[in-house]
Amino acid sequence: MSALAAFALDSGKSVTGSDIRYNRLMDKLAKKGAEVYEGSDAAVARAADLVVYNSAIRPCDRELRAAKGAGIPCVLRSRCLAAVAAEHKKCVAVGGIHGKSTTSALIAAAFKRAGLKFGANIGAEAADIGGNYYNSGRDFFVAEACEYKGNFLELSPDVAVVLNVEMDHPDCYADEIGVFDAFGRFAERIKSGGTLVINADCRYARVYAGLDKSVSVLTFGIDGGDGAEQALYCAKNLVQTDGRYSFDLYVGGKFAAAIKNKLYGRHNVFNALAAIAAFDACVLSAAAESGGRPPLRFRSCDLGASAGEGCEYAANGANTQACSLGAFAEAARNRLPCIESIEGFGGVGRRFEERARLDGCPVIIDYAHHPSEIRAVIAAARQAFSGGLAVCFQPHTYSRTARLFDEFLTAFDGADGLVIFKEYPARETPADGKSAFELFCALKKSGAVYIDGQKELDLKIRELSESCGCVLLLGAGDMDFFDFC
């Protein structure tokens, strides 16, 4: 929402906006000229020409009801984002259950380093572009594409990235099939002649065989993964050093570059690969339109096929469109800004971000709120830091806690100490699922404690820092506003 507000300010609009509590993003908007305030004010809403609200806002919201009652046009954030994207020549939409913010920020950082004219709307603050928003021109638009309530189905991307697909958002998806269907429809939103960038190691990758034949498909994966032997962009020879992974990039079966990924965790190798593939798709497309080499043409409709010689890929009969050596050579020459961005990446807010040092112990905050994310972050912390590892977790929404309850029970196995903090309910009530205390009671982990007060959690973190090598604060809630952060 704050990034859209910044775009509106850049367009010469007067902007007002509110949040539950005052925060850093509101302060940045105020400095740009927005009128921001804490809480709600129906009079402000009634005075607007347009009200933009996100999917978490309930119909009974005071400001939304006031605006609608006054006949003020009210539109969802997703539709406003799509309108902003449509004002740019090409849209790159980054979707997936995990890794959207990091991958979007990597692509934006590469665009900036390459000197491209682009806008970006990212769901977290990225150091390389100075925040969650960037606006230097309208050739490209990088959008984090959120699957919640099908928001990403408003976008019509030229390049769509699917990082991974698994069950999440049980308040709007009944099961994995529902999530799977939403991502299938997201892929179908790609414009004719566009490109899908998809994780070949994702178990839902095979669904995209049914795409329009005009859409190119670029796959990425890690050597040894389920689909890596078929992936066009493949990371091989991974070497882990203090939690960070260097790897050799192979494109079309040929060595392309040696990359030292600055981000922590094996999961960020996937994000780096996705960013490279998306960057290539954009650069080659731009080169083709300016009279350069033809755009990359690639399909992987049958993920059971094997890669052919050179830069061709053996796919499924008539759907096969070979990628020429010349196109890859063109990509290699233009890929350097992307690789440099990955190797020098400044990181993304609340994604393995060090917020404090207490008696020499790093306090790392991360947005991980899904069992898969929790396991990945704990594994990265184990590799990055020596000594004991303590985790403080704040469950996000009652429905997610209930739907993924059994997975949460084993997600913290890699931690030495565990604190369960009172849930962040977001838009929900206790009747929607299970609470943090219910999760705590079901956990069998020795020494786990439950805390429901901010001051008590602050004291506990300071206590843990005296005996641990690292303290992880995990969750998508409001721990970001606490004193120790």
pLDDT in tens, 387-399: 999 999 999 999 9
User: Can you give the pLDDT at residue 334?
Assistant: 82
Last residue of a domain, one of 43, 77, 111: 77
Domain shared by 187 and 269, yes or no: yes
Single out the residue of 232, 421, 216, 233 nearest to residue 312, CA to CA: 232
* pLDDT above 70: percentage of residues in the chain: 87
Domain shared by 307 and 359, yes or no: no
Average pLDDT score over residue span 226-252: 89
User: Can you give the pLDDT at residue 329?
Assistant: 58
User: Can you give the pLDDT at residue 328?
Assistant: 55
Across the strands, what pairs with 92? 142, 159
Q: What string of H, E and C letters represents the secondary structure of the chain? A: CHHHHHHHHHCCCCCEEEECCCCHHHHHHHHHCCEEEECCCHHHHHCCCCEEECCCCCCCCHHHHHHHHCCCCEEEHHHHHHHHHHCCCEEEEEECCCCHHHHHHHHHHHHHHCCCCEEEEEEEEEHHHCEEEEECCCCEEEEECCCHHHHHHHCCCCEEEECCCCCCCCCCCCCHHHHHHHHHHHHHCCCCCCEEEEECCCCCHHHHHHCCCCCEEEEEEECCCCCHHHCCEEEEEEEEECCEEEEEEEECCEEEEEEEEEEECCHHHHHHHHHHHHHHHHHHHHHHHCCCCCCCCCCCCCCCCCECCCCCECCCHHHCCCCCHHHHHHHHHHCHHHHHHHHCCCCECCCCEEEEEECCEEEEEECCCCHHHHHHHHHHHHHHCCCCEEEEECCECHHHHHHCHHHHHHHCCCCCEEEEECCECCCCCHHHCCCHHHHHHHCCCCCCEEECCHHHHHHHHHHHHCCCCEEEEECCCCHHHCCCC
Which residues touch 28 (CB under 8 Å, ≥6 apart)? 2, 131
For residue 20, the tally of other CB atoms under 10 A from its CB is 9
Whether 11 is covered by a domain: the verdict is: yes
User: Can you give the pLDDT at residue 297?
Assistant: 38
Last residue of a domain, one of 292, 316, 343: 343
Instruction: Confirm if 194 and 173 have CB atoms less than 8 A apart.
Output: no
Whether 391 is covered by a domain: the verdict is: yes
User: Can you give the pLDDT at residue 293?
Assistant: 40
Domain shared by 252 and 337, yes or no: yes
Compute the distance between CA of residue 145 and CA of residue 464 in angstroms, rounded to an integer: 37
Residue type, 19: D
Confidence label for 110 from pLDDT (cuts 50, 70 and 90): very high
Residues 114-149 pLDDT 10s: 999 999 999 999 999 999 999 999 999 999 999 999
Domain shared by 30 and 93, yes or no: no
Domain shared by 108 and 41, yes or no: no
Average pLDDT score over residue span 216-226: 87
Domain shared by 329 and 307, yes or no: yes
Whether 376 is covered by a domain: the verdict is: yes
Compute the distance between CA of residue 30 and CA of residue 77 in angstroms, rounded to an integer: 20
User: Can you give the pLDDT at residue 48?
Assistant: 96
Residues 49-71 pLDDT 10s: 999 999 888 899 999 999 999 99
Compute the distance between CA of residue 7 and CA of residue 5 in angstroms, rounded to an integer: 5
For residue 88, the tally of other CB atoms under 10 A from its CB is 19
Which residues touch 406 (CB under 8 Å, ≥6 apart)? none
Whether 348 is covered by a domain: the verdict is: no
Which residues touch 282 (CB under 8 Å, ≥6 apart)? 90, 92, 111, 116, 140, 159
Structure tokens at 174: 């009944």
Name the residue range of residue 24's domain. 2-77
Residue 59 is part of a domain; what is its CATH number?
Answer: 3.40.50.720
Q: Kindly tell me if the per-residue pLDDT of 45 is higher than 60.
A: yes
Last residue of a domain, one of 77, 108, 131: 77
The domain tally of the chain equals 3
Average pLDDT score over residue span 321-340: 67
